Structure 1
Amino acid sequence: MKLKHVKTITKRNGVRFTYLAIPGHKLVRLPDGPKDSPEFLIAYATALSASGPELKGRPVATGSIAAAIISYQRGSEFAEMANTTKQQRKGHLSKIADTWGRARLADLRIHHIEADLAKLSGHPANNRLKTWRSFCRWAKARRLITNDPSIDIGKSSTAKSDGFVPWSIDDIEAFREYWHPESAQRLALELIYWTAARASDAVRIGPGMVTKDGWLTFRQKKTGGEVSVPFNRTLPAFAVGMKADLDMFKLAISHAPRHMTWLVTEHGKARSDKAFSSWFAGAARAAGIEGKSAHGLRKARAMALAEAGATAHQIAAWTGHESLSEVQRYSKAADRKRILSRVDEEQVLETEPTQTGNHNAST
């Protein structure tokens, strides 16, 4: 990774000095030695912070937690995180720097992190812990700390929740009846229900993502993983019964304005994912559907795939889930329904003999 504003000057005697050289600022001497060493990176981050907006107003000393946080946020590991993860981590890192920034990183202990987490509970506490673990893992890998004090801290307990409520078939039909195929609201439903895309991906999907061999392929914003959903091709066996949903999607597309993305505003501009979520929730309420979100359609498609006989791996490939734990829940629930629905395979269970000596053949 190339460090900005780093300049090496060679004196007449051949001795070389390295500086932070930001236009309009005085040169700041940096340590000699490799530019990827922990000492150099922390000194670089400290000098850079003195002239930049990051951690503005906080004293940043070499070897401090604040200096290490700056260096951590400039590293490749942080840069490669999903945008939503980075934004969340930045908020937690800022809070950590507010409280612990002046302390020496080398003095960081488990009770410091536990004291920081004690101010939070549930999911916020667990998200803060994830931030500490990522930061400490980075620091240990660069030998800025000897031991990782976050590794033995357990997660906070959270109330069990199924999260977003999936849409039922009745919900989907009610929405379709209220919003005609020419409407943007109807297109939004059909697009998400068929692709199982998150809102952050749905607003970016467009005709240019349909491949020559008939796949609708897009890269997920959250995970970076690529997803391919059948579009202009033969459907897999488990999805043959879903062709009507695909036809509904294509009908809605046929009324969409020409644009790089299918979902656009009234002014023909691409929609933002945050504005889209609230807009779509309003469309659902207008159709008499309360408490349901765009993400609930993603769950509805996963459930439909499971009930159609798709395996957990097939569902994950369609929806883009990186972990099978959630999709396996859909598969197990669908398996139970199929078992209970096998009327033609009902077993004849023997019962205790009646007074006449006969066995009941059925109950």
Structure 2
Amino acid sequence: MGLKARSPKWVHGFVDRHGKARFYFRRKGFQKVSLPGLPWSPEFMAGYQKAMSEKPVLNIGADRVVPHSIRALAVAYYDSAAFRALDPDSTQKVYRNIIDRFCRETDKDGQAYGDKSAVTIKPHHIENLMGARAAKPDSANGLRKVLREMMKVAKKLGWREDDPTQGVKKLKPKRTGGFHRWTDAEIAQFEKRHPIGTRPRLAMALGLYTGQARQDVIVMGEQHISNEVLDWVRKKTEAKTGYQLAIPVHPELRRIIDATLSGHLTFLVTEFGAPFTAAGFGNWFRDRCNEAGLKHCSFHGLRKATATRLADVGCDPLEIAAITGHASLKEVQRYTETRDRKRAAQRAMVKLISGTEVANPIIQLANQAKKP
């Protein structure tokens, strides 16, 4: 148990009959790989990263897959360039869970959807599937999304000429406000619990002053900064748009980076000096929020706080997107809909009276950060 507790995810260890510790990478759907050395050592982590980067073994159980079925199409999709381009620790994992769960589900006659034909599925079938998930719009829309990606592969394979998901509308999700946006008071409360020089403070600063998501900040390092500009392509959109960002490094972020010991290629590492996974980082930051008495806050809420702060100092949606990397201005609007309307109204009136624009928003944002 001690070996397992100290090992990275999907690593299993044991002591053989000669008293030697042995470690293996064992992940469902992947080839079993023997790892050299001890956990977290350079040779071990090199082997671990290589095993993580390998493609899944897609022929497991292939003899039980019905030809041209939904399950067969899923196997083909997992082997496609489009799927391999997705982030393996976030998007791939989410898509796999949706598809695999759908394949296991059964209809009223007890037949698994995975065994049904991918060639004969029609738009009304998909509408019925989404209707059955009406109580959970996000689940219904997620299924529609992955089926659309799978049908692109079906067309390339020549299984069908049309896409049955076209014309099927998304369900309108319930307006819950999504992730909670951090307030200035909550940011100050977190900073009081986690002072400059600690990893939690650096993590928060990276989120707050870059506006990026957890899968981005965990791989950021000094090598990505040139002339105090962070050159970045969002991990979520790089396969789709390649949207290149050039984010000026905020002076407060630079101060916190310089005050935090690292010595690694990434600013943020685990207590063992290893890189974070997106899920692991999310859980770790969740615990740091709990320590600060902020159980309702999450790392993603910092991204919304960044967008709102930019809006409050007079940035338009294009300027905000240039920092946050949103590909849709509609999404920017959704992120900033909880902005300080009183402050925005005051600024708008000043503009109307003076007939001029406000001062440089970047300078205003820096000044705002200095205020208690």
Give the TM-score normalised by structure 1: 0.68
**Residues of 2 paired with 1:329 and 1:174: CA distance?**
26
Change (3 A) 1:248 1:86: closer
Give the TM-score normalised by structure 2: 0.67
**Residues of 2 paired with 1:252 and 1:66: CA distance?**
47
Q: Match of 1:160, as an amino acid?
A: R
Change (3 A) 1:104 1:275: closer
Equivalent residue number for residue 94 of structure 2: 88
Query: Which of 258, 262, 266 does residue 261 from structure 1 map onto?
Result: 266
Aligned residue for 1:218, secondary structure, equals: strand
**Residues of 2 paired with 1:316 and 1:163: CA distance?**
19
8 Å contact from structure 1 (residues 187, 253) kept in 2: no
**Residues of 2 paired with 1:324 and 1:59: CA distance?**
46
Query: Which of 280, 285, 290 does residue 285 from structure 2 map onto?
Result: 280
State the shift of 1:58 in Å.
6.2
Q: Match of 2:195, as an amino acid?
A: H
Equivalent residue number for residue 339 of structure 1: 345
Deviations 1:69-111 (A, max 9, x none): 3223322233333433332222233244442333333322234
State the shift of 1:61 in Å.
4.0
Q: In the alignment, does 2:143 pair up with 1:137?
A: no
Q: Match of 2:151, as an amino acid?
A: C
Query: Which of 202, 221, 225 does residue 235 from structure 2 map onto?
Result: 221
The two structures, once aligned, show a CA RMSD in angstroms of: 2.8
8 Å contact from structure 2 (residues 207, 302) kept in 1: yes
Deviations 1:336-360 (A, max 9, x none): 633245676899xxxxxxxxxxxxx
Change (3 A) 1:277 1:249: farther
Equivalent residue number for residue 186 of structure 1: 201
Equivalent residue number for residue 108 of structure 2: none
Change (3 A) 1:119 1:61: same
8 Å contact from structure 1 (residues 210, 217) kept in 2: yes
Change (3 A) 1:149 1:264: closer
Change (3 A) 1:115 1:95: farther
**Residues of 1 paired with 2:282 and 2:60: CA distance?**
32
State the shift of 1:253 in Å.
3.1
Determine which structure has more spread, i.e. the larger CA radius of gyration. Answer: 1
Task: Tell me how many residue pairs correspond in the alignment.
Answer: 282
Identity of aligned residues (%): 26
**Residues of 2 paired with 1:147 and 1:345: CA distance?**
52
Aligned residue for 1:101, secondary structure, equals: helix
Q: How does 1:146-295 map to 2 (within 5 A)?
A: 146-211=161-226, 213-224=227-238, 225-231=243-249, 246-247=251-252, 249-295=254-300
8 Å contact from structure 2 (residues 66, 115) kept in 1: yes
Aligned residue for 1:107, secondary structure, equals: coil
State the shift of 1:262 in Å.
1.3
**Residues of 2 paired with 1:161 and 1:335: CA distance?**
19
